[in-house]
Amino acid sequence: MSTQRPLTGIGTRLRHLLDLLEADLASVYPRLGLDDYRPRYSPVIRALVAHGPSTIGELAEAMRVTHSAASQTVAQLTRRGLVELSVGRDARQRVVRLTERGRELLPVLDTEWEVAEAAMADLDAELSVPLSRLLTELERALERRPYRERVAEAVLAVGPVEPGGEAAGARAAAGAEGARAVESAAGAEGARAVESAAGADESVGTGEGRG
């Protein structure tokens, strides 16, 4: 009997949780005077405050996101006039820096950060394991052994999939299960045969069954 798989994987659930957190945080932005602002902008601005003008690659490293993700966020911030780009030492390189408008938002963003941290602390208090601690453990586990290695190992365990068929690993597991079932049935049948023979011998020994 096959085990029913969940309809959503861990990636879908994580994205859903992030969407919930960001949407609820963004819902208070109008009260803080942050119109046309999104939670994903804050890490870029905070990185620029901490490190000064930076390349997109440096921002990506500071925020621990991909270069593509950092580039997309910087493009959105540029359109909103919160950051500006200039040519770096390399003509192909772009340096990101806060605009005057971006710097004016810093006091409000400090308040936003405090609000977000307080709300997360309240959420952590309701969990069996604080989310912040779990995320740290997850990051360290993936640093020790990347997810791609775990996926590659799982692929080898499952084996190739034939068109219209099931994975070799699943077939092997099913075969092993079938073999155990046959072996179990054979053992039970053998036990019954021995028991029957022993009963017959006992009947003969006691004189039962004689005409």
List pLDDT tens digits, range 128-179: 999 989 999 999 999 999 999 999 999 998 877 666 655 555 555 555 555 4
Residue 48 or 8, more confident: 48
Residues 20-42 have a mean pLDDT of 92
Confidence class for position 199, pLDDT limits 50, 70, 90: very low
Instruction: Give me the pLDDT at residue 89, please.
Output: 81
Name the token pair of 200.
Answer: 């017959």
Sign of the alpha-carbon dihedral angle for 125, 127, 129, 131: negative
SS3 22: helix
CA dist 139 → 36, 104, 136 (Å): 31, 34, 5
Instruction: Give me the pLDDT at residue 88, please.
Output: 78
Crossing angle between the packed helical segments 56-63 and 67-79, to the nearest 10 degrees: 110
Cα separation, 109 vs 81, in Å, equals 16
Cα separation, 130 vs 122, in Å, equals 10
User: May I ask the CATH class of domain 11-153?
Assistant: mainly alpha
The closest alpha carbon to 169, from 155, 185, 149, belongs to 155
Instruction: Give me the pLDDT at residue 198, please.
Output: 43
pTM over 0.75: no
The full set of domain ranges for the chain reads 11-153
> Which residue's entry shows tokens 């949780």?
17
Cα separation, 112 vs 117, in Å, equals 9
Residues 90 and 81 sit within 8 Å (Cβ to Cβ): no
What sections of the chain are H helices per DSSP? 10-26, 29-32, 41-51, 56-63, 67-79, 100-104, 106-124, 131-144, 147-158, 168-206
